[in-house]
């Protein structure tokens, strides 16, 4: 191989790695609650999140560190990046008044459009394991939790029924909802 070709390949690899590194940093930094709260529209969601189980208000102190942990799909890297680009562009255009903002109050009960099961299952691996196991075979989940998730999530999915985690885990039914009192917060604005 000629020196010029080898040099071009090495330069291309270095530039490619540099672009990948900068992209990874940008994706990470634009996924944090602090970044999301920089838009007035998202401030109530971030404020509510900080006091939730998912925001670290739990005995273990565990927290989902990025808004995108829940609010973007995690089925594939390409799908994640495309959804992030579309979502970020839409939110920025709405914040600057170029397009209509999402009315989160009116759309509150359509939360399955904003929360992805793949995000839930990324952390709640015991629930994911139930897809291929029988009730009683998953360590770390109570028997009741296994029964409920097998019956009302995985069995419905297998039958082709539309089901989502937030159909049950929402502001009115669960004390460990990711955004406690969000509806009340939005209504008081």
- Binding site: which residues? 36, 39, 42, 67, 70-71, 84, 91, 165, 168-169
User: Can you point out the beta strands (E) in the chain?
Assistant: none
Shortest CA distance to 70 belongs to which of 181, 176, 185, 161?
Answer: 176
Shortest CA distance to 33 belongs to which of 15, 18, 52?
Answer: 52
DSSP 135: T
- 3-state SS assignment for residue 183: helix
DSSP element (H, E) containing 18: helix 3-29
Task: In whole angstroms, give the CA distance from residue 80 to residue 24.
Answer: 12
Task: In whole angstroms, give the CA distance from residue 56 to residue 53.
Answer: 5
Three-state secondary structure along 101-112?
Answer: CCCCCCCHHHHH
Residue ranges of the binding site for a menaquinol? 67, 84, 91
Residue ranges of the binding site for heme? 36, 39, 42, 70-71, 91, 165, 168-169
């Amino acid at each position: 191989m000629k020196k010029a070709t080898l040099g071009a390949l090495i330069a291309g690899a270095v530039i490619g790695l540099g672009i990948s590194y900068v992209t990874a940093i940008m994706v990470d930094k634009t996924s944090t609650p602090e970044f999301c709260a920089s838009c007035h529209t998202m401030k109530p969601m971030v404020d509510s999140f900080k006091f939730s189980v998912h925001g670290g208000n739990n005995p273990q102190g565990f927290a989902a560190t990025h808004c995108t942990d829940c609010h973007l799909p995690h089925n594939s890297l390409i799908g994640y990046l495309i959804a992030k680009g579309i979502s970020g562009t839409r939110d920025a255009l709405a914040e600057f008044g170029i397009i209509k903002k999402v009315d989160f109050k009116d759309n509150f009960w359509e939360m399955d459009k904003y929360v992805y099961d793949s995000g839930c299952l990324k952390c709640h691996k015991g629930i994911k394991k139930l897809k291929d196991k029988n009730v009683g075979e998953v360590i770390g989940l109570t028997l009741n939790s296994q029964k409920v998730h097998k019956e009302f999530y995985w069995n419905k999915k297998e039958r082709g029924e539309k089901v989502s985690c937030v159909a049950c885990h929402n502001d009115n039914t669960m004390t460990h909802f990711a955004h406690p009192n969000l509806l009340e917060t939005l209504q008081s604005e």
